[in-house]
Amino acid sequence: MPHKRTTPKIFALAKELRRNPTPAEIKLWSRLRAHRLGGVHFREQHPIGNYIVDFCAPRRKLVIELDGSQHLEQKEYDAARTEFLQSRGYRVLRFWNDAVMNDIETVLGVIREDLQGND
């Protein structure tokens, strides 16, 4: 029986992405995993529809996306993706990889603010 959230192909791709994270994903995941940020449960490389989001707190309807330089050339794709996620009730926070690598405390502060403002 197929999963209602996405397709088996997308699930397989998400699994592969979890095996090969970027340095920024590794750094942020070390601070999000195991309920380390305010007791909130996050998932990494979480499929939603035809998309795989970098991090998701499903019960809090929060998606966190990390953007590298390739995102400068795919603004329309990112906008459509964000619109789809918002249509499903998710809030989307985007951070540049550089911000995660060089100022993780500010990134975590923005995430905390969002979570507190949306209890």
Domain regions of the chain by residue span: 8-117
pTM confidence score: 0.91
- Tell me which DSSP letter residue 35 carries: T
DSSP 23-57: HHHHHHHHHHTTTTTTT---EEEEEETTEEEEEEE
pLDDT given at position 68: 84
Which residues does the chain have with pLDDT short of 50? Answer: 1
Q: What CATH number matches the domain at 8-117, 3.40.1410.10, 3.40.50.1220, 3.40.960.10, 3.30.830.10?
A: 3.40.960.10
Distance CA 22, CA 101 (A): 11
Are 21 and 33 contacting, i.e. CB atoms less than 8 angstroms apart? no
Decide: helix, strand or coil at residue 46.
strand
Angle between helices 23-32 and 104-117 (to 10 degrees): 50
